[in-house]
Amino acid sequence: MRTDFAGEMGGYRVLGHVWGGWWRGPGVSSARKVAGFGTEARRQLQPRGSSKRSGSLGNQSFPGLLQPENLSREELVDVLKASVVDQKGKPGELTLFSVLPELSQSLGLGEQELQVVRASGKEASGLVLLSSCPQTASRLQKFFACSRRAQRPTATYWAVTDGIPATSEGKIQAALKLEYVDGLGSVVPVKSPSRKDILEGVKRTLSHFRVVATGPGCALVQLQPVTVFPSQLQVHMVLQLCPVLGDHRYSARVGTVLGQRFLLPAESTKPQKQVLDEALLRRLHLTPAQAAQMPLHLHLHCLHLPGTRPRDAPIELLAPLPSYFSRTLQCLGLCQQ
């Protein structure tokens, strides 16, 4: 996890690279551009137990992931404390997972509770915006809501996809609903939703996309969601027949017959580990077992925020890529064109 701070606005802080409810490893290469990605990070981080090697996989479940279960609570606090690049504004409690008391004490913060204003999503990596000031949090939430009403994206994600979109750029529109089966939530598209459907939780969603780079059977795609819905970007890419690498929930909805891809019925397709073809596995230098542990390659790279004062220029926050994401780009030759 990295923490990056840009601008002083009532004590907000920004965290990066939170994945799946656990921090999984720092973004390396913070001082250089990887596949055309710039970064605002102020220093590099290489914590204990991590490795700069990306070629030989050995017994790793997936290269570039730090396993928190191999760390003591004290070691995890040390790693998180070392991840703080800058800390300004009013002091507040840095709320983060199960090590809240230790981390807060280690950072010398006060008793104020931080509020999550914007996050990359449960399985995605990238920026997490926190605020210890209720007024600042309210202002930012109003800014994001106003931007959504104006259909003005404020977040930019990067995704590596299994497959290449049919067009180089465009928008994806779909009505989505969240269904629960055996206690597990799953997002499914709804064709021609009625007013009753909308009242019952179906939401019309919209995302913009642009293909940044392509390789044999894969692509680096920029995604800008206009609406907010659980798993929106993953489902949108599935509807393009190009699931995100590491999508072990929705990628099974894309079937293939004689090299042609098609959508399977979402309601009757159960989640399963993503299956990649042999050519892609060879380029990634992964075994099928390692690919089954692949993290979701969806990264909240950039957030646009309002300036501190009305006449100030907007603030742009950038998160460096996680090491596993950078490694994948290098293996697949996905450099910005």
> What's the pLDDT at 79?
67
Show the CA angle centred on residue 56, arms to residues 318 and 40, nearest 5°: 10
Tokens 């269904």 map to which residue? Answer: 179
% of the chain exceeding 90 in pLDDT: 51
> What's the pLDDT at 110?
64
Banded model confidence at residue 25, pLDDT cuts 50, 70, 90: very low
Locate 140 and state its tokens: 């930012």
Contact between 249 and 181 under an 8 Å Cβ cutoff? The reply is no
Banded model confidence at residue 251, pLDDT cuts 50, 70, 90: very high
Across the range 265-284, mean pLDDT stands at 93
Contact between 38 and 158 under an 8 Å Cβ cutoff? The reply is no
For the ranges 63-67, 194-198, 323-327, the lowest mean pLDDT is seen at: 63-67
Locate 279 and state its tokens: 């050519």
Per-residue 3-state assignment (H helix, E strand, C coil) for 230-254: CCHHHHHHHHCCCCECCCCCCHHHE
Say what the pTM is. 0.74
Is the alpha carbon torsion for 187, 193, 194, 195 positive or negative? positive
Contact between 80 and 103 under an 8 Å Cβ cutoff? The reply is yes
Q: How far apart are the first and last CA of the chain?
A: 28
Contact between 270 and 264 under an 8 Å Cβ cutoff? The reply is no
What's the CA gap between 101 and 61, in Å, rounded?
30
> What's the pLDDT at 131?
74
DSSP string, 21-56: TEE------TTS-BTTB-----S----TT--S--S-
Across the range 149-158, mean pLDDT stands at 95
Task: Tell me which residue of 8, 13, 79 sits closest to 48, measured CA to CA.
Answer: 79
For the ranges 161-175, 215-229, 297-311, the lowest mean pLDDT is seen at: 297-311
Q: At what angle do helices 73-82 and 100-107 cross, to 10 degrees?
A: 50
> What's the pLDDT at 60?
53
Banded model confidence at residue 116, pLDDT cuts 50, 70, 90: confident
- Cα torsion through 77, 89, 302, 274, rounded to 10: 30
% of the chain exceeding 70 in pLDDT: 69
What's the CA gap between 243 and 237, in Å, rounded?
5
The pLDDT mean for the chain works out to 77
The maximal CA–CA distance of the chain, rounded, in angstroms, is: 61
Task: Tell me which residue of 315, 303, 302, 306 sits closest to 6, measured CA to CA.
Answer: 315
Please say if the pLDDT value at position 246 is more than 70.
yes
Please say if the pLDDT value at position 72 is more than 50.
yes
Locate the DSSP E strands across the chain: 2-4, 12-16, 18-19, 22-23, 115-118, 125-126, 128-131, 155-162, 169-181, 184-190, 203-215, 218-225, 254-257, 260-263, 298-305, 315-318
Domains and CATH numbers, the chain: 2-153 (no CATH), 157-291 (3.30.2350.10)
What's the CA gap between 298 and 183, in Å, rounded?
25
> What's the pLDDT at 73?
75
The tens digit of pLDDT for each residue in 181-239 reads 777 889 999 999 999 999 899 999 999 999 999 999 999 999 999 999 999 999 999 99
What's the CA gap between 189 and 154, in Å, rounded?
24
For the ranges 92-101, 106-115, 272-281, the lowest mean pLDDT is seen at: 92-101
